[in-house]
Amino acid sequence: MTSVPIHSSINGDSGVSSRVKKQILLNAFDMSTVGHLSPGQWKLSVFQNPADKSATKRDLNYWIDLAKLLERGGINALFLADTYGGYDTYEGSLDNCIRRAAQWPMTDPTIVGKVLIIEESPS
């Protein structure tokens, strides 16, 4: 586990200042969709980043590469946001959600197990 050391001074009962080493755990966030809070921007050329691989999230290699990247970066955890289904409240239909990729499509969370197996293997 990688952590970032943080030093702080604490005054105990004796009034003497001592340095205590604290640690920060680094976490990452992702969602199985091509767009999180910016629906539709992933497909506009003005917003495209050549390093953006969000359109490939349905491919297991996206998640494997992400796990390896986070491991190299010393990230302690990955939070995967999910939902039980698309947002169907606008006009009573999923059509706009799907058309704009507003947190759609969702990915089966079983990919996590496969990524864990790969990351447990020496590479």
pLDDT at 73: 92
From the list 4, 20, 5, the residue with the least C-alpha distance to 76 is 4
**DSSP, res 59:** S
Asked if residues 75 and 27 have their Cβ atoms less than 8 Å apart, the reply is yes
Residue 16 lies in a domain: no
- CA distance linking residue 118 with residue 63, whole number of Å: 10
Domain enclosing residue 42, as ranges? 26-120
20 in a structural domain: no
Joined together, the tokens standing for residue 6 give 């943080």
Q: Does pTM top 0.85 for this prediction?
A: no
pLDDT digits (tens, 9 = 90+) for 53-100: 777 887 888 888 888 899 899 999 888 877 667 766 778 888 877 777
Does residue 51 contact residue 112 with C-beta atoms inside 8 Å?
no
Length, in residues, of the chain: 123
Q: Is residue 72 part of a domain?
A: yes
Tally of CB atoms within 10 A around 94: 16
- In which band, very low, low, confident or very high, does the pLDDT at 39 lie, cut at 50, 70 and 90? low
Region at 16 (left for phi over 0; alpha for psi -120 to 50; beta for the rest):
beta
In a domain, 50, yes or no: yes
3 found inside a domain = no
In a domain, 19, yes or no: no
Is 41 a member of any domain? yes
Please indicate, yes or no, if residue 15 is contained in any of the structural domains: no
Structural domain tally of the chain?
1
State residue 106 phi and psi, 5-degree precision.
Answer: -95, 150
